[in-house]
Copies of this chain bind each other. A is one copy, B any other.
Amino acid sequence: MTSAVSPLAVAMPALPPLAGVRLNAAAAGIRYQGRTDLVMIEVPEGSTVAGVFTSNKCPGAPIDWCREALKGGKARLVVVNAGNANVFTGKAGRDATAATAEAAAKLAGCAASEVFVASTGVIGEVLPHEKLVAALPALHAGLHANGWQEAARGIMTTDTFPKASTRVAKIGGKPVRITGIAKGSGMIAPDMATMLCFVFTDAAIPADQLQKLLKKGVEPSFNCTTVDSDTSTSDTVMLIATGQAGNPEGSLSDFGKKLNAVLMDLALQVVRDGEGAQKLVKIDVTGAVSAKSAKKIAMCIANSPLVKTAIAGEDANWGRIVMAVGKAGEPADRDKLSIGVGGVWMARDGGVVPGYDETPVVAHMKGREIDMTVDIGLGQGKATVWTCDLTHGYIDINGSYRS
């Protein structure tokens, strides 16, 4: 399938142990050969949990399971398999998820409702959960504090590099760490969340506050990215707090800021690994009638196949941007529209800027990171979204994946 690493890849940061968190990965042979495809992450008793999940109306069985389990607000284990999404698998799918959670719970000595199960990969094939359950005891026995990289690799599907991010925040003067891993490359247009992303912290934060922070944090990060406009059936972002840092209660504003930085970092790593991506594209929309309107316009530009192929062709084709603004259905006045690329206004007030010199724009389009600015000229609403270009690589990967 994919072999070359994305040209937009970033190196995985060093991830120090996070008090109370132990990880491990194994090759259960569910779909892939010669690589890990099953990951377990254990957190200590008393850990609180928050989660946001896909808004796709045909979610996978693990999403249903996690939504239910989340009601308890407590977590002890996360079990993730890659290669089979366990989506559209009916009763067999529900049984597979339950059997996995129950087998894992026995190993950890906890309730099945404290086990969060996630699956990613092919849709519509029954998950051979016997293989998965059989691999759990050794996986559990081998849990260790330095398994972050193994875990980040074990959840990959068409990803070409492992994705991780870490920050230190302070609560009540006490430093706490936030570390997250994510996977995702295609079927990326998160609506409530994204593909799979697991963030851990040693901070002590009650589940309801954790949930509020997470919901807020995914908005400007994962929910403002798109690779191909296709919202996955398995999108999951979870945040688990172990409480091991021993922080006092206190303002969570620094924690929220750092959490958002981790989420943004991971979301952009997913876009950087967009299937076939050669360029990372940032789209700023300003001057819309509202923030919601700005985001809709920005997403419409980001999802336009004609804009994305133009970027792949290194063509600063403002005509296609105009088209995408207009098709969004949001208030827009052609004659007040301005479009800039790489910090240079190409078009303003409904026409080409007089004496427009294409040279710096052409140079910018040849780079790996493309900045576009669209000013609607009507109000104060603004939004920023990220996407990648649409290349032959995307067709290669998706004309053959599965089958």
Contacts and interface: CB of A to CB of B under 8 A. Distances in A.
A334 B395 contact: no
A137 to B, nearest CB: 30
A146 interface: no
Interface in A91-129: 91-93, 122-126
A93 to B, nearest CB: 8
Contact of A352 (B124, B228, B326, B392): B124
Interface in A186-231: 186-187, 189, 191, 228-231
Given A334-B58, A403-B317, A322 B88 contact: yes
Interface in A64-102: 85, 87-93
A17 interface: no
Contacts of A350: 88, 90
Contact of A319 (B85, B303, B312): B85
A53 interface: no
Interface in A309-327: 309-310, 312-313, 315, 317-320, 322-327
Given A57-B330, A123-B319, A123-B320, A395 B88 contact: no
A390 B330 CA distance: 27
Contacts of A57: 325-332, 334
Given A186-B306, A233-B326, A351 B403 contact: no
A392 B88 CA distance: 30
A48 interface: no
A351 B306 contact: no
A56 B313 contact: no
Contacts of A85: 319
Contacts of A236: none
Nearest to A305: B228
A129 to B, nearest CB: 15
B312 A90 contact: no
B309 A399 contact: yes
A400 B315 CA distance: 8
A29 interface: no
A87 B304 CA distance: 18
A319 B230 CA distance: 12
A81 to B, nearest CB: 16
A310 to B, nearest CB: 7
A337 interface: yes
A323 B398 contact: no
Contacts of A45: none
A187 B305 CA distance: 9
A331 B58 CA distance: 10
B323 A228 contact: no
Given A87-B319, A318-B88, A391 B395 contact: yes
B395 A231 contact: no
B306 A395 contact: no
B233 A398 contact: no
Contact of A230 (B92, B123, B189, B304): B304
Interface string A170-196: 000000000000000011010100000
A385 B57 CA distance: 21
A249 interface: no
Contacts of A395: 309, 312, 390-392, 395
A130 interface: no
A232 interface: yes
Interface in A338-381: 347, 349-352
15 contacts: A59-B334, A85-B319, A89-B352, A90-B349, A123-B318, A123-B320, A123-B323, A125-B319, A230-B304, A232-B323, A305-B390, A309-B394, A310-B398, A310-B399, A312-B399
